[in-house]
Amino acid sequence: MHSITTMSDRDIITIEPDKRGGKPCIRRMRITVYDVLGWLAAGMSHAEILEDFPELTEEDINPSC
């Protein structure tokens, strides 16, 4: 039997004091959680965000998937 390994929120959201002023970022990148939430609030779809930022994954945007 194989188990499915998924990332936890702790793996996706990282905080580094010297990056982006210590704001929570996605997987040690310079893209903040605030950035992603702002794009979603502005009406961008997950597909649009992933097209504009191919380094992100669906799980970065929606960890419950």
Q: How far apart are CA 29 and CA 22, in angstroms?
A: 12
Arch. (CATH architecture) of 9-61: Orthogonal Bundle (1.10)
User: Structural domain boundaries of the chain?
Assistant: 9-61
CB neighbour class for 55 (10 Å; exposed up to 12, middle 13-18, buried from 19): exposed
Report pLDDT digits (tens) over 22-62. 999 999 999 999 999 999 999 999 999 999 999 999 999 98
Confidence of residue 8 (pLDDT cuts 50, 70, 90): low
List the structure tokens of 20: 């982006």
**The model's pTM:** 0.78
pLDDT value for 5: 45
